[in-house]
Amino acid sequence: MLATERILSWNVNGLRACDRKGFRRWLDRSGASVVGIQELRAGTEQLPRRLVAPKGWHAEFSSARRPGYSGVGLYARRKPDAVDTALGQRAFDDEGRVQLARFGRLMVANVYFPNGNGKDRDNGRVAFKLRFTKAVFARLESLRRAGHRVLVMGDFNTAHREVDLARPKDNQKTSGFLPVERAAFDALLGAGWVDTFRHREPAAGHYSWWSQRGDCRARNVGWRIDYVLASPAAMRFVQDAFILRRVQGSDHCPVGVDVDPAIYGAGTR
C-alpha cells in the first residue's frame, strides 16, 4: 500500500478545452488516486471516450441542464462505493455542481460553488451562492455526524482573507471577496472545517486562479478560491496540502492534499 494517497481538485474551465492542452496526459501523470474537476461545460455525450472511460480510472460526471455551463466530474483509481449528485432542490441540482463520492469511511465532496456575479456583473447571484453553500454544508454536517471523514474540494469562488488575493483593496465590492461571502466562509471554519492549505502555509502570494487578461498569471496577480476543506476526523489523516501552480491548461490550477490511506478504513472518528 502507498504511504500516502493524493487527492486533487481542478477547475478545468471546460474539459474539452483543457484536454486540448494536455489534461488526459496530466491525469495519468498526476500521481493522484482521486481527481475532482469543476466547470465541465459538457455533457458526457459530447466527450470522447478517453475522457468518459479512461483506462485505469473510474469516471463519474454530473452535467448542468444548461448546455456549456457548470458541471463536475470525478476520476478515481478505485470505484466509489456510492456517488450522489443531488441536494434535493431543483434550482441547485439543475446546475450540476455537486458530487458526493463515498470510499469506505471517506466522503469526498467535489463541488463547484456558484459565482455571485449576475448577468450584468451586479452581484445578483450572491444570495443564490449563499443558499447553495448552506445546503451543501447542511448535507455534509449530517455525514460528519454519521461518522464519515469528509473532504470538501472544489472552486469555492471566494477568497477568504486579504492574504488570499493579490489586490484586496481593489476588490472590496467584487463578488468573491464581499464581506457577506467572507463571513460565510468564517462560519464554515467556525463549525470545525479546516482549510488544509492555510493550516500549513500562512504566507501571502499563493493563488489558484488568475484572470486571463493582462498577463496576471505570469505576474502572480491572482486569487486563492480553490480549496480542500477537511472535517476534524479527516484532518487527522491529512499529511500535506498544496497548490500546483505550474500546471497549465486552465485559468485555475489544481489544489490538493496527500492523505494517509488509513483515511478509508475503520478507526477513531
Q: Quick one: which of 234, 213, 227 has its CA closest to 149?
A: 234
pLDDT, position 248: 97
Specify the pairing of strand 32-38 against strand 209-210: unpaired
d(CA 266, CA 14): 37
- Checking 232-237 for CB contacts under 8 A at 24+ apart, the result is 232/192, 232/194, 233/144, 233/147, 233/148, 233/149, 233/150, 233/269, 234/106, 234/149, 234/150, 234/151, 234/259, 234/263, 235/194, 235/196, 235/199, 236/268, 237/149, 237/262, 237/263
d(CA 153, CA 208): 13
pLDDT, position 67: 94
pLDDT, position 269: 39
**Residue 155 appears among annotated catalytic residues:** yes
pLDDT, position 267: 47
d(CA 43, CA 132): 22
Query: What pTM does this model have?
Result: 0.96
- Second-level CATH architecture of 5-264: 4-Layer Sandwich (3.60)
Per-residue pLDDT of the chain (269 residues; tens, 9 = 90+): 568 999 999 999 999 999 999 999 999 999 999 999 999 999 999 999 999 999 999 999 999 999 999 999 999 999 999 999 999 999 999 999 999 999 999 999 999 999 999 877 789 999 999 999 999 999 999 999 999 999 999 999 999 999 999 999 999 999 999 999 999 999 999 999 999 999 999 999 999 999 999 899 999 999 999 999 999 999 999 999 999 999 999 999 999 999 999 999 964 43
Residue 109 CA neighbour count, 13 Å, CB half:
30
Residue 169 has which C-alpha cell?
A: 483593496
pLDDT, position 2: 67
Domain ranges for the chain = 5-264
Residue 228 has which C-alpha cell?
A: 480542500
In Å, what is the CA distance from 30 to each residue of 8, 33, 35, 86? Answer: 9, 9, 9, 28
Distance of CA 27 to the CA centre of its chain: 16
Which of 19, 94, 155, 258 does the annotation list as catalytic?
A: 155
